[in-house]
Amino acid sequence: GVEKNEELERQWLEKGAELGDVEAQNNFGMMLDGEGDYEGARRWWELAAAQGDVIAMSNIAQLYANGEGVEKNISTAAEWFLKAASKGDREAQCNYGNILFEEMGQYEDAMKWYMKAAAQGHAEATHNIGTLYFRG
């Protein structure tokens, strides 16, 4: 192994991100997000998302859902979650369902996305399906 070195980690992640590696872009974005540099994180996640990375898409959605580095915008968050959900990402499917259910009152559409996530073994989605049936 090697010794843990956050400075070198940062240098190599940034280099990989600059060279266009999707994972490096996403991970460097996570590092910046953890430091509170939401704008920097979003910039790298947008590059990764443009290459089809569903995790980056969901990360961007979370920024808009929480108003971190951007003005809070549930519609924009929903758009980003939908992009990732449409590519089959179960976490994004559940999160998109959550926005439809909690923010937009679109229960039937929420159920559709929860079902897709649950079919892939997403635990929260199965709970949310039960909640929808409980409420009727």
The domains found in the chain, sorted by start residue, are: 6-135 (1.25.40.10)
pTM attached to this predicted model: 0.92
3-state helix, strand, coil in the chain (%, to 5): 75, 0, 25
The H or E element spanning position 112 is helix 107-118
In this prediction, residues 104-111 reach a mean pLDDT of 96
Q: How far is CA 132 from the centre of its chain?
A: 23
Sign of CA dihedral 121, 103, 108, 129: positive
The H or E element spanning position 94 is helix 90-98
**Chain length of the chain:** 136
pLDDT of 136 above 90: no
What per-residue string of b and e applies to 54-73 under the rule 16 or more CB within 10 Å gives b?
A: bbbbbbbbbbbbeeebbeee
In this prediction, residues 119-135 reach a mean pLDDT of 96
pLDDT of 66 above 90: yes
pLDDT of 38 above 90: yes
The H or E element spanning position 33 is helix 22-34
Instruction: Report the mean per-residue pLDDT for the chain.
Output: 97
